A and B are shown apart, each in its own frame.
Chain A
């Protein structure tokens, strides 16, 4: 029990401590404005992070989210502005394209035994390259539907604006939690991540699940691309460069182990918001140069990993060795 929940618990504790510290320095952290802005600004990372959580739970990795986000933005902008498509039709089309794209990556990984790192890296090049081929210009979207969507907002008494993007982020996280813990699919993902061969022997549909995982991840990345396109009201092929590393870092901070089989979607939610709180704090502080922010984010990331290492023993390599050695010693006649 302890080892399973400890990384998650640690993430929560650190998040709360950090938030309280930020609040003690800047009282605006107590307002819904900061909370809503966090949810809105990090929705485009948080939504794919939910998908990538499933990928990492299954023991794989997905490097394509950033590129899929960029491709989605450019695709939507072109379809709406140049082809005169209704945004909803464009959204449906890109979500379908992304799902097929993700399934194909899943096929490469499962059937052709190409490591997920390399298969999704090719996918990353393909999606980013596809965005460049479509256009290298930044296209602004002026469709009235975009204005309508940005008008969907719940305003808190203190002025915090709970926008469509923030709502979508929260809903995706909730659906992710449901999918992971209350469906066959979720159980299969955990089983494959724990032991793929064992899962296959127990009758888990490995092929279908793995293809589904990568399809889900691409689908959510495209959804995040739509959310970003709604808030930016433009399509730009260089957007979200390197976002995949932020996404992976968020999932890992959230307590999901890269070895697979251990982790929680709700941890990812916190893992996304945590760097967000740090960024907000450092921006409010204003005295730090951009390079110090990078170094501090890296150092905090390290601190997190170290804490997880100290407090959880799941992935510890030395421990089984130690217990084995102890067992050997006990067997020897005194």
Chain B
């Protein structure tokens, strides 16, 4: 075990060596810098990028679009950050989004058709959908923590069959709905701002307090750095892992509901398609290392904003939409290189040598 850890330690983003001059700085600097650069680039592309106007009691503007559009990935990134901090990864979130959204919409359809049982009331349906997400997370958590399957493989199982489960729930259809309560989650407006913003801020604050005002965050980091040492220190590593996958599942359920509410339908194919990749990307851009250990929910949120600002910038630019993915790949690579200590060190050496 220990000899396997050495190469991973070598890959740590953390560089404990002191006195690296200007290049040695808090990792947040590079994330914030990247976000600012992208926002400035967006401002250069579109003159009224930062303008926010009030129309019919709701705020309109590109910045609001960024905050609103980032809701699903933002929710996913909260759970994903915790999972990645335990040296895991959750590939199933996209499929879990589809499962929970499908279940919620099918149940709302029953309610709309006149079902009177209490569990068919919209409020309860939302709770049940989140509970279903927790159940999916429990499944992943048991595979990872109890059966000791590598997280990529363990969550790949639900990623493969999850879409099938979602299709089974909707009988292969993409049902639509009209219920306002469920739609509010995705398209509601509260005090001039889209409701999803409040939703993810609330989840972010609750999870933040949970991990930073209790020992949970420390336990998660400890399990991520060295699960075995944590075990010897008396930490129930299995329980911590199961817990983070459950949080991830619940976040995925909310993200699925946001998308379902936005389009007023459940599409078992499209809901959350490739969302897991964007969520993982956001967490890594935010500076949480895939090799586990210390994490930052706030930086992950900034990572989501980087991706979403980039996307919104591409929409307002006159660039042909087919180029979106290429620009995204290049910008993501640049951000990753900017954050890579190795890259910056090599660059400095190169500059010094030439001067």
Interface residues of A (CB under 8 A from B): 59, 61, 63, 108, 111-115, 117-119, 121-126, 128-130, 132-133, 136, 195-198, 245, 248-249, 252, 257-259, 289-299, 301-302, 305-306, 309, 315-318, 320-321
Q: Say if the beta carbon of B284 comes within 8 Å of chain A.
A: yes
As a 0/1 sequence over residues 146 to 172 of chain B, the CB contacts with chain A under 8 angstroms (1 = contact) are: 011110111011111111111110001
Within the complex, the shortest CB–CB distance from B296 to chain A, in Å, comes to 17
Residues of B within 8 A of A309 (CB): 147-149
User: Which of A119, A133, A252, A298 is packed against the most chain B CB atoms within 10 Å?
Assistant: A298
Top 10 nearest A-B pairs (CB, nearest first) are A298-B161, A294-B164, A129-B325, A129-B326, A291-B167, A196-B7, A125-B329, A126-B329, A291-B164, A295-B164
Q: Check B277–A320 contact: CB distance below 8 A.
A: no
Residue of B nearest to A61 (CB): B152
Beyond the given pairs A125-B332, A198-B6, 17 more chain A to chain B contacts, judged by CB atoms under 8 angstroms and listed by A's residue number, are A108-B336, A112-B337, A129-B323, A133-B326, A197-B6, A197-B7, A198-B3, A245-B160, A249-B160, A291-B165, A292-B168, A294-B161, A294-B164, A297-B160, A297-B161, A301-B160, A321-B228
Residue of B nearest to A316 (CB): B148
Residue of B nearest to A310 (CB): B147
Q: Check B150–A258 contact: CB distance below 8 A.
A: yes
Q: Check A129–B328 contact: CB distance below 8 A.
A: yes
Q: How would you classify the secondary structure of chain B's contact residues: helix, strand, loop or mixed?
A: helix
Residues of B within 8 A of A317 (CB): 1, 148, 227-228
Q: How far is the CA of A126 from the CA of B333 in the complex (A)?
A: 10
Residues of B within 8 A of A61 (CB): 152
Q: Check B4–A195 contact: CB distance below 8 A.
A: yes
Q: How far is the CA of A200 from the CA of B326 in the complex (A)?
A: 35
Residues of B within 8 A of A126 (CB): 325-326, 329-330, 333
Q: Say if the beta carbon of B180 comes within 8 Å of chain A.
A: no
Q: Say if the beta carbon of B100 comes within 8 Å of chain A.
A: no
Q: Check A248–B6 contact: CB distance below 8 A.
A: no
Q: Check B342–A113 contact: CB distance below 8 A.
A: yes
Q: Check B156–A249 contact: CB distance below 8 A.
A: yes
Q: Check B168–A291 contact: CB distance below 8 A.
A: yes
Residues of A within 8 A of B172 (CB): 289-291
Residues of B within 8 A of A315 (CB): 148, 150
Q: How far is the CA of A258 from the CA of B88 in the complex (A)?
A: 13
Q: Check B168–A115 contact: CB distance below 8 A.
A: no
Q: Say if the beta carbon of B96 comes within 8 Å of chain A.
A: no
Residue of A nearest to B162 (CB): A298
Q: Which of A115, A133, A298 makes the CB contact (< 8 A) with B158?
A: A298
Within the complex, the shortest CB–CB distance from A193 to chain B, in Å, comes to 10
Q: How far is the CA of A61 from the CA of B91 in the complex (A)?
A: 14
Q: Which of A118, A248, A318 makes the CB contact (< 8 A) with B281?
A: A118
Residues of A within 8 A of B340 (CB): 112-114
Q: How far is the CA of A238 from the CA of B163 in the complex (A)?
A: 19
Residue of A nearest to B290 (CB): A115
A-B contact pairs, 21 of them (CB 8 A): A112-B342, A114-B336, A115-B289, A115-B290, A117-B290, A122-B333, A126-B326, A126-B330, A129-B324, A132-B323, A132-B324, A136-B322, A289-B168, A289-B172, A291-B166, A291-B167, A295-B164, A297-B161, A306-B147, A309-B148, A317-B228
Residues of B within 8 A of A197 (CB): 6-7, 10
Q: How far is the CA of A4 from the CA of B158 in the complex (A)?
A: 27
Residues of A within 8 A of B326 (CB): 125-126, 129-130, 132-133
Q: Check A118–B284 contact: CB distance below 8 A.
A: yes
Q: How far is the CA of A123 from the CA of B157 in the complex (A)?
A: 24
As a 0/1 sequence over residues 314 to 355 of chain B, the CB contacts with chain A under 8 angstroms (1 = contact) are: 000000001111111110110011001111001000000000
As a 0/1 sequence over residues 90 to 132 of chain B, the CB contacts with chain A under 8 angstroms (1 = contact) are: 0100000000000000000000000000000000000000000
Residues of A within 8 A of B162 (CB): 298
Q: Say if the beta carbon of B89 comes within 8 Å of chain A.
A: yes
Given contacts A129-B323, A132-B325, A309-B148, is CB(A292)–CB(B333) below 8 Å? no
Q: How far is the CA of A297 from the CA of B231 in the complex (A)?
A: 35
Q: How far is the CA of A252 from the CA of B160 in the complex (A)?
A: 14
Q: Say if the beta carbon of B70 comes within 8 Å of chain A.
A: no
Within the complex, the shortest CB–CB distance from B89 to chain A, in Å, comes to 7
Residues of A within 8 A of B290 (CB): 115, 117-118
Q: Check A125–B228 contact: CB distance below 8 A.
A: no
Q: Say if the beta carbon of B247 comes within 8 Å of chain A.
A: no
Q: Check A111–B342 contact: CB distance below 8 A.
A: yes
Q: How far is the CA of A309 from the CA of B142 in the complex (A)?
A: 14
Q: How far is the CA of A195 from the CA of B333 in the complex (A)?
A: 27
Within the complex, the shortest CB–CB distance from B11 to chain A, in Å, comes to 6
Given contacts A295-B164, A298-B164, is CB(A122)–CB(B336) below 8 Å? yes
Q: Say if the beta carbon of B305 comes within 8 Å of chain A.
A: no
Within the complex, the shortest CB–CB distance from B316 to chain A, in Å, comes to 19
Q: Which of A111, A133, A290 makes the CB contact (< 8 A) with B167?
A: A290
Within the complex, the shortest CB–CB distance from A326 to chain B, in Å, comes to 15
Q: Say if the beta carbon of B86 comes within 8 Å of chain A.
A: no
Residues of A within 8 A of B81 (CB): none
Q: Which of B6, B91, B325, B343 makes the CB contact (< 8 A) with A195?
A: B6
